[in-house]
Chains A and B, each alone.
Chain A
Amino acid sequence: MEQACLQEWSRYTPQQRFTRYAWFALAALVVSWALGSVDIIWAWVWDAPAQMGDLFRRMVPPDPTHLGAILEALWDTVNLATIATALAVVLALPVAYIAAQNTTPNAVTLWIGRFILVSSRSVNTIIWALLFVAIFGPGIVAGIVAIMFRSIGFLGKLLGEAIEEIDPKPVEALQACGASHFKVVLYAIVPQVMPTFFAVSILRWDINLRESTVLGLVGAGGIGVILQGAIDTFNWQEVSMVLLAIIALVVVGEVVSSYLRRRIL
């Protein structure tokens, strides 16, 4: 017993301890270098709490005079998100099909599919919107196309993964029946990815609803246009009204999507 108490134990050897401290020092160095190399105007940072309080006072109470226009823009936003999601779902199906290893016809189509997914996903919705505002001009069409382009990557990737994870046994059974490739997809693959399909589509609609509220900032339609206008004219009471409306919309979207999830799945 005595002997056991005297036994020495340490989690790290001196060598390991030294290496760990070296890494900590390096991390501290990197952080301080990063902070030093960006231009922070510290006066404005220390000033922030006062500014926040000031802005808050100017925002209260929210100004409901343009509530009609705000609600209309909100409805536009809902439509924008819904239409874009619906289009994206349809377009994502073939992309998912060729991006999944077990259904893609050949290596070239697999490569094309993955390229579409990566390029769609690596560009943010706002950047897509900037591009399409330049192409279609400002308005809701640019917003719809922007949201759609971003959603194809998201939906295609998750659906493609669902296709890759199906049970291959029913596929084999239907091939043994002499069913054509398309019918095998229809009977053995589609039923298996159905739950994921609905879950992912609802989730994306929910995300799109939130994303489409900011699209107006770059002129791509929706509630963001009114928000941008109010900020530009320092109409802070209207800004707070718009923000409240957006929060209400997001909450409603959340409720609707969780209800749909419960109903369908």
Chain B
Amino acid sequence: MLTIKGLVKRYGAGDPVLKDLELEVPGEEVVSVIGSSGAGKSTLLRCINRLVEPTSGTITLNGTDFTALGKRDLRIGRRRIGMVFQSFNLVDRLTVMENVQSGRLGYISTWAALTRRYPKQDIQRAFELMERVGIAHYADKRADELSGGERQRVGVIRALMQQPEILLADEPTASLDPKTSEQIMTLLRDLARELKLPVIINIHNVNEARQFSDRIVGMRYGRIIFDDLPAALTDDAMHEIYSGIPHADRQVEGEAA
């Protein structure tokens, strides 16, 4: 279970990006986080594994307070959190297998990493997962030879190789065409069920959020203003999440774009 309490993230002196945010993700459910650009979705996700350092608040995953971890413990802690990225973030010049095995880098010895002598059970698991998503025959191909959908599958498998306790997906389908995007969402939902894994997905496509998640969280200006079942996401709620952006915030957004 992931529990976030009083999370604040402030860059410099300005208005905080996340304002006293509370969120609880129990057990094995798929949670979609929606909201306009700049609402703080990505910052929220990155605070969980501390790719972004939270300003204050606590983030607890199955009893471990991540905000209190030192450098070394944080590395060990990060093995328990898988992350999938919008632009896949693969190492293009490495093979698919090397990319998949890099999910195990937190576990294996430096020598094994250097010589690419991965443990047998890791290779076994990699092939099983790659088989499951249909990329096993690409094992020896270079990552940049694959199409977008295939590359994101590699990204998902890399995260799953960590045997994580939670999966974070930061707009995993935003760089993909609609059909591929749907396949990846289906995959995330099905894998979450098979592996009994809670998943938090930042997503722009509200229809996909409705279709694939058990719960939808709506963010606006660093706060959670909607948190309910997909069926409860009415037009009014949508309006509140996405429209009526005040003048000041709109300007900030324009600069960011």
Contacts and interface: CB of A to CB of B under 8 A. Distances in A.
B105 A177 contact: yes
A191 B92 CA distance: 8
Contact of B91 (A170, A180, A182, A195): A170
A235 interface: no
B64 to A, nearest CB: 13
B89 A178 contact: no
Given A170-B89, A178-B106, A187 B94 contact: yes
Contacts of A72: none
A180 B114 contact: no
B98 interface: yes
B77 interface: yes
B90 A178 contact: no
Contacts of A186: 110, 113-114
A179 B83 CA distance: 13
Interface string A164-182: 0000011011111111101
B41 interface: no
Interface in B124-169: 155, 158-159, 162
A239 to B, nearest CB: 49
B89 to A, nearest CB: 4
A174 B93 contact: no
Contacts of A182: 110
A194 interface: yes
Minimum-distance CB pairs A-B, first 3: A178-B106, A179-B105, A178-B78
A194 B85 CA distance: 24
Nearest to A178: B106
Contact of B51 (A176, A180, A191): A176
Interface string B98-114: 10001111100010011
A191 B94 contact: yes
A116 to B, nearest CB: 26
A106 to B, nearest CB: 15
A176 B49 contact: yes
A104 interface: no
B113 A173 contact: no
Interface string A205-245: 00000000000000000000000000000000000000000
Contacts of A172: 51, 85, 89
A182 B102 CA distance: 13
Given A178-B105, A182-B110, 17 more contacts: A169-B89, A170-B89, A172-B51, A173-B155, A176-B49, A176-B83, A177-B162, A178-B76, A178-B79, A179-B106, A184-B105, A186-B114, A187-B91, A187-B94, A191-B92, A191-B93, A192-B92
B78 A175 contact: yes
12 contacts: A169-B87, A172-B85, A173-B83, A173-B155, A176-B51, A176-B83, A177-B83, A177-B105, A179-B106, A183-B105, A186-B110, A186-B113
Given A177-B105, A177-B106, A180-B110, A169 B85 contact: yes
Contacts, number: 76
Contact of A176 (B81, B93, B94): B81
Interface of B: 49, 51, 75-79, 81, 83, 85, 87, 89-94, 98, 102-106, 110, 113-114, 155, 158-159, 162
A237 to B, nearest CB: 53
B122 to A, nearest CB: 13
B96 to A, nearest CB: 13
Given A169-B89, A191-B91, A177 B103 contact: yes
A165 to B, nearest CB: 14
A152 B191 CA distance: 50
A169 B151 CA distance: 14
Interface in A138-180: 169-170, 172-180
Given A170-B91, A172-B51, A173-B85, A187 B78 contact: no
Contacts of A192: 91-93
Contact of A180 (B75, B87, B89, B104): B75
A203 B198 CA distance: 52
A265 to B, nearest CB: 12
A177 B102 contact: yes
Given A169-B87, A186-B113, A179 B93 contact: no
Contacts of B91: 170, 187-188, 191-192
B75 A178 contact: yes
Contacts of B51: 172, 175-176
Contacts of A173: 83, 85, 89-90, 155, 158
A3 to B, nearest CB: 45
B91 to A, nearest CB: 5
A179 B102 contact: yes
A191 B116 CA distance: 13
